[in-house]
Homo-oligomer: A and B are copies of this chain.
Amino acid sequence: MINSRYAWFEESLKKIALLASVGGVLAWDQETGMPPDAVGIRSQQAGILSGITHEMRTSQALQDCVEELLNDSSLTPYQSVNVKEFHRTLQKSIRLSKEFVEQLSLTVSAAYPAWYQAKTQNQFDIFAPHLEKIIALKKEEAQLIGYAKHPYDALMDEFEPGFTVDDADRLFTDMKTSLLPFTKRIASQTQPNDDFFRQPFDSFSQKKFGRSLLTAMGYKFSSGRMDHSEHPFCIGLHPSDVRVTYRLNPNDLSEFIWGLMHEGGHALYEQGLQTKYWGTPMGSTVSLAIHESQSRFWENNIGRSAPFWKYWFPVLQNTFPDAFKNSDFQHFYVGINRIAPSLIRIQADELTYHFHILIRYQIEKSIFEGNLSVNQIPTVWNNLYKEYLGLDVPNNTSGVLQDVHWSHGGFGYFPTYSLGSFYAAQFFHALSAQSPIQEWLEQGQLQPITTWLNENIHSKGMELSANELCKKITGESLNFAYFMQYAQQKFNPIFNLS
């Protein structure tokens, strides 16, 4: 018997997802090739669309329907997941008025080009008034949504359901205790030479290599495309339309490969969602940290490992014979695993990276505690880079203006990057215990890895929470020890540490 109330509910969710995916096309276009003069009209287009979507999501009819379905005992398990999860997020959404959502959308659409200009011209002042407005709106949002202990909890919950300041403080304290001394010890060693990156690598060949790599990973170009953008991203509009972007420097290969593998990891998650559930929680990704676990898994656990490059280094040598004629495998492998504090988060190595995140976390937390005004942010930023990474920040372009996230209003987002790496290490440990992954990698077989991720993670949608999923796959909740163990097992031999 068809449950017609449930059917209407699901149809409504799919309509909302359709409109949201249209907004995704606008966002992709804006960051890949929209004419610059169109920025004004684009923010209006995005604004009206998110207004309509919000109205549909929060309509009284849908609210009433969901409330009734919550008590409907005839629902199948997947239907229950969809109803409960939608109800959870709806409770948050209905606290935001259509006007508030439109206002936020207009504000961030105008902020993006200002951030871009500020970054290009090293003028924080150009971005500051936009940032002020965004922070004011996000503070209002935290109050409207509500929280138990800390306003920043309300914002993090949007990206990582249930994750709180208490959790983050515990996690980052743990990290400071074990990872900070380990990283400082490694960073103080003589670092391997990676000058081989700084040579001419023609753009066409880089893209060709990238396409081969993504294809080997199982990314379907018939359901995707790759383009250049200022800040690489992946956007999943539907499992049949998942787009990645890259940065490309014809004189430095390092900017391209790992960024692309990172976005490729995200893209495999989006392409691996079940089409039949599209638009509902069962066809959606669990959380940003789990999303990031997929990208970090490919970028670092796979993409900076010895067995992976055993197969791919010869391919790279064939692609760029001039650049790699004097390079051998070992030289290349240690070169791609330098550990050195640096200014730019997206260029950071896989250990110092997490201190970039810690800095952003501390700043965001202070902002929402009301202890930090916009004009103080650059100074605090620079002080923290000195404290954790020992670096002097020479200008705001390579400091506080480097990331796009704040221009999008994405406060609470950064911590999920570190969580993602920690989940990735734990998943990698589980896969290693269950499969001959070393052999696969040495033979260039990436598809079995994608199949495992697909079966265990991608296809599950939101059937389980991030924590439940982690327990099911690895037998326990997220445990920072796996990341430390991974780091020690990998870097001790590279740096001849005991």
Binding site for B on A (CB under 8 A): 15, 18-19, 21-22, 25-26, 29, 33-38, 40-42, 44-45, 48-49, 52, 220-225, 237-238, 240-243
Contact = CB atoms under 8 A, between A and B. Distances in A.
Contacts of A241: 34-35, 37-38, 41-42
Given A41-B238, A240-B41, A241-B41, A49 B35 contact: no
* 8 closest cross-chain pairs (CB), A and B: A38-B241, A37-B240, A37-B223, A41-B238, A38-B240, A37-B222, A18-B48, A22-B45
Contact of A25 (B25, B48, B237): B25
Given A22-B22, A22-B26, A222 B41 contact: no
Contacts of A40: 240
A42 B18 CA distance: 9
Given A18-B44, A40-B240, A25 B29 contact: yes
Contacts of A238: 38, 41
A21 B48 CA distance: 11
B52 A225 contact: no
A44 B25 CA distance: 14
B35 A240 contact: yes
Nearest to A222: B37
B240 A15 contact: no
Select the residue from A26, A237, A240 with max chain B CB neighbours within 10 A: A240
A223 B21 contact: no
A119 B246 CA distance: 34
A40 B241 CA distance: 10
Nearest to A26: B25
Contact of A45 (B18, B37, B38, B243): B18
B18 A222 contact: no
A278 to B, nearest CB: 8
29 contacts: A18-B41, A18-B45, A19-B48, A19-B49, A22-B45, A22-B48, A22-B49, A25-B25, A25-B26, A25-B29, A34-B225, A34-B241, A35-B221, A35-B223, A35-B224, A35-B225, A35-B240, A35-B241, A35-B242, A35-B243, A36-B222, A37-B220, A38-B237, A38-B241, A41-B238, A41-B240, A41-B241, A42-B241, A52-B52
A36 B221 CA distance: 9
A38 B25 CA distance: 12
Nearest to A271: B37
Nearest to A15: B48
A31 to B, nearest CB: 13
A40 B21 CA distance: 13
A35 B242 CA distance: 8
A21 B46 CA distance: 11
Nearest to A46: B22
Nearest to A34: B241
Given A34-B241, A37-B241, 16 more contacts: A15-B48, A18-B44, A18-B45, A18-B48, A19-B48, A22-B26, A25-B26, A29-B29, A35-B223, A35-B241, A37-B222, A38-B240, A41-B238, A41-B240, A41-B241, A52-B52
Nearest to A221: B35
B35 A21 contact: no
A223 B25 contact: no
Contacts of A242: 35
Contact of A21 (B21, B36, B41): B41
A420 to B, nearest CB: 26
A224 B41 CA distance: 13
Contacts of A19: 48-49
A266 to B, nearest CB: 16
Contacts of A36: 222
A42 B223 CA distance: 12
A42 B21 CA distance: 9
Contacts of A44: 18
Contacts of A38: 223, 237-238, 240-241
